[in-house]
Structure 1
Amino acid sequence: MVISLLLAVTVAVPNGFLLYEKAAAVKDDDPETSWAVSGRKTARLVVNPCDRAGLGQAGRVSAKTIVYTAVPDFSRSEQVILYRSATAARKAVKDLRKAVSTCRISGYRYAGRTVGLGDEALAVTGQSYQGRHPAIGGERGIVARRANALVIYTQAGEWGKPAKADFARQTRDAKRMLGKICDIATC
């Protein structure tokens, strides 16, 4: 137990580990698309209702974030975060669930539901509304925890009414990453 805890503290998310890194490394001359790769441990969660700076920050030891943006309104992101312990990672998920349920923005709503991935997971919908009706624009994210690691996959764009099918790519990518996350997490 002590050895695995020490290992988790010294391990960082290695280069080439994330699923989108190969695509992000390809030179793209299209001015309407871009990739951003960050190894900042303090990067904000890519699923972050009300954009809270401290959400999911406590206990982090390493993080890597990749964001793809296409003009005018599409983005996709991948984030892997290692925490000092499974307890710290569980708290990050708990705090995210609370943020989903309490964030209130006029014309934009968040909802979350539990999904069967990893040790625990949440599908998060952010959606624009006009009155009571879904409008165009929103985000869909999967946040999954396995041991002391969080894996997060999102897509944002011109979504209409929220549907389970909106999470197909994010779920597939989260399953792939969960299949290899124990190479760097303390599973």
Structure 2
Amino acid sequence: MTNLLLAGALALTAAPADTIPKGFLLWEKAAAKKDDNPETNWTVNKRATAKLTVNPCDKAKLASAGRVAARTIVYTSVPDFQKSEQVILYSTKDQAALALADLKAALRTCGSVKSEGSEYRYSGKVVTLGDEGLAVTGQNYAGRKPAIGGERAIVSRKGSALVVYSQAGEWGKPAAADFAAQTKDATKMLGKICAIASC
């Protein structure tokens, strides 16, 4: 009888949640505060279908297969700063791994977007974070020189979850230090994600 109860308990803990508890994300408390500043804004999206916040090809369906829950928080500040926090739960670890693979493929497919006088380039570098991680750089270029404007994101999978922390704004030449805040937040989230994900 004891073995049966133990097996049942293990089965329950192994299954991923189909919701993300209120207050689970790192920025939810800040996003819930009243903000009277017309130049800043918080938005919270609880839909599982929310677009992946790091999305080189700007595809609504990128990394969407197998999702069971998601929460996305975006902070914007005039004139051009934005940061986002996104936690996505998938039905299985394999689905989450496939989602990260889809992002890597998108980085290759849409690695360069040209416009008049400039080119926006994406690149990804493998980082040791969670079960697998990726540091994504988006950067505007004028010829071969980095111009003002870009984004820096950390995307990491742990078990059946994907966590994304991104900042976009007046970035210049890419540097490792650009990822410090995003890595710190991702590490905090990965430390507790197994409470709701299958790890």
1:122 to 134, 151, 168: 134
Displacement of 1:7:
3.4
Deviation of 1:132 (Å): 1.0
User: Which among 186, 191, 194 is matched to residue 174 of structure 1?
Assistant: 186
CA contact (8 A) 1:5 1:85 kept: no
Once the two structures are TM-superposed, the CA of residue 5 in structure 1 deviates from its matched residue by 8.6
Return the match for 1:15 from 1, 16, 22: 22
Give 2:163's aligned residue: 151
Alpha-carbon displacement from aligned partner over 1:118-162 (angstroms, at most 9, x marks no partner): 000000000001111100000000000000000000000000000
Instruction: Name 1:60's counterpart in structure 2.
Output: 67
One-letter amino acid of the structure 2 residue matched with residue 54 of structure 1: K
Note the residue ranges of structure 2 that are not aligned, 5 or more in a row.
1-6
Q: CA RMSD in A?
A: 1.5
Say if 1:135 and 1:99 are closer, same or farther in 2 by CA, change over 3 A.
Answer: same
Query: Does the C-alpha gap of structure 1 residues 118 and 36 become closer, same or farther in structure 2, counting only changes over 3 Å?
Result: same
CA distance in 2, matches of 1:4, 1:152: 26
Matched-pair contact (CA < 8 Å) for 2:14–2:198:
no
Sequence identity percentage: 62
Distance in 1 between residues matched to 2:187 and 2:179, nearest whole Å: 12
Equivalent position of 2:4 in the other structure = none
Q: Kindly provide the CA deviation profile for residues 20-46 of structure 1, in whole angstroms up to 9, marking residues without a partner as x.
A: 001001101000000000101000001
The one-letter amino acid paired with 2:135 is A
Rg bigger for which structure? Answer: 2
How far, CA to CA, are the matches of 1:64 and 1:130 in structure 2? 35
Gaps spanning 5+ residues in structure 1: where?
none
- Give distance in 1, aligned partners of 2:12 and 2:160: 11
Aligned residue identity for 2:98: K
| Structure 2 equivalent of residue 85 of structure 1 | 92
Deviation, 1:52, is 1.1
Partner of 2:102: 95
Are residue 138 (structure 1) and residue 150 (structure 2) matched? yes
The answer (yes or no) to whether the contact 2:156–2:186 under 8 Å persists in 1 is: yes
Structure 1 segment 104-119 matched on structure 2, within 5 A: 104-106=112-114, 107-119=119-131
Helix, strand or coil for the counterpart of 2:99? helix
Q: What secondary structure does 1:174 align onto?
A: helix
Deviations 1:68-94 (A, max 9, x none): 000110011000000000000000000
Work out whether residues 64 and 80 of structure 1, in 8 Å CA contact, stay in contact via their aligned partners in 2.
yes
C-alpha separation between the residues in 1 aligned to 2:14 and 2:192?
20
The partner residue of 1:31 within 32, 38, 44 is 38
User: Partner amino acid for 1:116?
Assistant: T
Structure 1 partner of 2:177? 165
TM-score with structure 2 setting the length: 0.90
Tell me, yes or no, if the aligned pair for 1:5 and 1:84 is still in contact at 8 Å: no
SS of corresponding position for 1:16: coil
